[in-house]
Amino acid sequence: MIPVLGVEGARVAVLGLGRSGLSAARALQAGGAVPLCWDDNPEARDRAQAEGFDVADLSRPGAFDEVASLIVSPGIPHLYPAPNKVVAAALHAGVPVDNDIGLFFRSLAVPEWDNYDTAPRVIAVTGSNGKSTTSALIHHVLSEAGREAQLAGNIGRGVLDIDPPGDGGVVVLELSSYQTELARALTPDVAVFTNLSPDHLDRHGGLGGYFAAKRRLFAEGGPDRAVIGVDEDEGQFLAGQLAEAPGDDRVIRISVAAKLSGPGWAVFARKGFLSEYRKGRQAGSIDLRGIKGLPGAHNHQNACCAYAACRTLGLAPKVIERGFASFGGLPHRSQLIAEKAGVAFVNDSKATNVDSALKALQAFQNIRWICGGLEKEGGLAGLAPGLQNVVKAYVIGREAAQFAMQLDEVETQVCTTMAAAVDAAMAEAQAGDTVLLAPAAASFDQYDSFERRGEDFMAEVQARL
C-alpha cells in the first residue's frame, strides 16, 4: 500500500466504493486521514462498513462541512454530460476534487529514496487504443529482464494498492482519460501516448475535450521522456508542443504508418519490422512477424511504444526482443484461444469501438466476423478499410438487425446471441479462416462487461471443439 501523504487528521470524502475507491480509503486511513465514504449502491456501502469505514451520505446538506477534499472514482462524471450531484456540491462548497491517481503521484516519493542507488521510476501510458497491451508489455519485458516492476491503474491493481517500489523499481500505469482529466498531480518519469480516436465524447464534451484530458499527462507533469504516437494529427501536435527542437530526444516519435526520419529519436514498424533511429542512424531492430502475442499493425504500434519506453530505462534491444517473444498477449485483446482443422479462433472482445475493431480486421485474413452490441455514436463507416478481409459477418446484440444494415459491403447474418453466431461461423468456416470476435460496440446490451462477453465467446467455442 502507498499511504497518502499530507492528510493526517483531515476528513476526506470518498465517492464511489469500487476497486479504486476502497483502495483510496485504505491509503487515506493509512496516512492518518478520516475517510468519509459514500456510494449509491447499498452493497458497496456495506462492504465499506464491514472494513470499518465511516459511511456518510455526501448528498445531504452540510455534508462537506470541515471536509478537506473529495476523492472521486473514475466512472463518476464531474463535468460532462452533467456533474454528479455530490461532485457539484463539493465544488459549490469550495472543496478540492481529486482521484486516486492524484493521491498516488503526490505520495509515492518518500525520504527513503535518498538511500537508493537508483530512484524508482513511473511509466504512465494513455491513449484511445492499445494502452492496456502496451502497459502489460512494458511490465512483462521489465520483469523478464529481472527488473522490479509493478502494473497498476486501469489494469492490474489499484495504484494505491501496490507495494512501495524498491531501489530501481518501476511502476507501470495504464491511465484512462477519466483518470488523467481529474488527477491534481501527474508527474510520471516517462509518459506514453499511443493514439487517438473518438471515444467517451459525451464524458469529455467532444473530441477536443477528450484530447485535452489525455494531453494533461504530458502538460501537467513534464515527464523526462515522452513517447508519442504521431499517426494522427493530435499526436503530431503533442510531439511538436513538447519538443524544443527537431533533434530533441526527450520526445520519441512512434509510427506504424510511415518511416520516420530526421535528427531526433524515433521508433517505427513497417511490414512487420520494428526499427529504432537516433540522430539519423539505426540503433536497433526487431522482426515482429513471428511473435504470436503481438499480431497485426495495431499490436506493432503497441510494440513500438513499449520498446521506446523500455529503451528510456536503458534496456538493450536484444533484451527487449526476448521479452516480446515470450509475451502471451492479454485476454480479450487479439487473444488466440484455439485452432482446429486450420481454423483460428480469436477473442478481441475489447474492440468496443470502430477504430479498435478496424485494427483487428486488418490484422487477419479470411475473417468470419462476430460483431455487434451497443453501438457507439459515429456509425460504422470507419470499418470500411478492413471489410475486404471479411468473408461474412455474424451479428449479435439486441439491435443486431440495425447493426447489420450498416454493413452493406459484406454478407451478414443476424444471429442476435453469441451461441447462434458461434454455431453459424463454425459451421461455415474453412481451413485458413479466422473466427474473430471484434464487436465494434459496447457490451452492455447483453453483458455486464466486455470481459464477460469474451468469456462467453470462449466458452461457446470450447464447447464445440
Q: What are phi and psi of 441, to 5 degrees?
A: -165, 160
**SS3 state at 336:** strand
Residue 412 known to bind ligand: no
Q: Is 127 annotated as a binding residue?
A: yes
Counting beta carbons within 10 angstroms of the beta carbon of residue 134, is it exposed (0 to 12), middle (13 to 18) or buried (19 or more)? buried
d(C-alpha 254, C-alpha 265), whole Å: 9
318 is known to lie in a ligand binding site: no
Retrieve residue 421's grid coordinates.
453466431
H helix runs in 416-449, sequence order: 418-428
Instruction: Measure CA 240 to chain center.
Output: 24
C-alpha span between 126 and 340 (Å, rounded) = 36
- First-to-last CA distance in the chain? 44
CA distance 392 to 358: 15
- DSSP track, 368-419: EEEE-SBPPTT-SGGGGGGGGGEEEEEEESTTHHHHHHT-TTS-EEEEESHH
CB 287 within 8 A of CB 272: yes
Does 59 appear as a known binding residue?
no
CB-based contacts of 203, cutoff 8 Å, min separation 6 = 77, 80, 81, 177, 178, 210
Beta carbons within 10 angstroms of residue 280's beta carbon: 11
Beta bridge partners of 252: 227, 265
130 labeled binding residue: yes
User: Is 20 a known ligand-binding residue?
Assistant: no
Has 131 been labeled as part of a binding site? yes
Torsion sign, CA atoms 412, 414, 417, 419: negative
* Annotated binding residues: 127-133
Annotated binding-site ranges for ATP? 127-133
